[in-house]
Amino acid sequence: MYFPAYRARRMRRNETIRSMVRETHLRVEDFIYPMFSAFGKNIRKEIISMPGIFQQSIEHIVEEAKEVHALGIPAVILFGIPETKDPVGQDAYSETGIIQETIRAIKQAVPELTVITDVCLCEYTDHGHCGVIVDGDVDNDSTLALLAAEALSHARAGADIIAPSDMMDGRIDVIRELLDANGFENIPIMSYAVKYASAYYGPFRDAADSTPQFGDRRSYQMDPANRREAIREATLDVQECADFLMVKPALSYLDILRDLRENFDLPLVAYNVSGEYSMVKAAAEKGWIDGERVMLETLLSMKRAGADLIITYHAKEAAQALAKG
């Protein structure tokens, strides 16, 4: 087919034709909304580096969960800010920890909303790393038991999906085994299968109070330069019976999303991380971009790359924008 007999613009003439031949669709059902639950009462503290996102005490989390559900967003993912932190992150796996209490409150108030819980220790340790420190680094194997205990405590509290984000080797297998042994064989695991040591996480660390007190996380999170390694990481999690695979961050790793889509048939999740969100917000505030259009185009790119679901701080405003048509 060659011009002038073939004219590609015929299929772009008006919105009706464009919508008829549209290849990728963004839906409110695609979104998962992150929430930060803080210990205490009457807390609703906006995160300076993430406009519109808050650290909130449980009563405010519940109210926002109702709002999320009313918008048609099917799920939230919870992160916790505990009362106290310690070297082994005890609040993470306490039956009365901040996330465990938040799960119960949401499920009582909005039982239809799917509650996903982040399973990691970085929000709960006084050093800010994702596991037990031995000789100045996170010790993989001694961390696994604590992660599994955290996952089990979340399941007992009523979590619908468990999402380990720590990047310890073997954690999906250990968590799956403990959940199954305790009667939670029907709880899916959403694995942060491919999580890079990214500079895009900066605002999240403000939100979760989880900045490492020494060093960095490059000994356990992936090198941003590596592509083939992502397939190996995802393959291991598939073999250990993960139910979802995730790529984090999303925007600078769309090639990785596409690689996983082409190699695996599990549901694929993109995490539109805090730095990606904050850049759009900052540029829109300065009038440099149309914030809503850039937001929707960014999220659409993740679907086009192969994501089935998107964890995004934009979820509420994206749902509202899509409802406008």
- 195 annotated active-site: yes
Residue from 195, 281, 303, 316 carrying the catalytic annotation: 195
- Do residues 26 and 71 touch, judged by C-beta distance below 8 A? no
Out of 85, 107, 248, 316, which one is annotated catalytic? 248
Q: Which residues are catalytic?
A: 195, 248
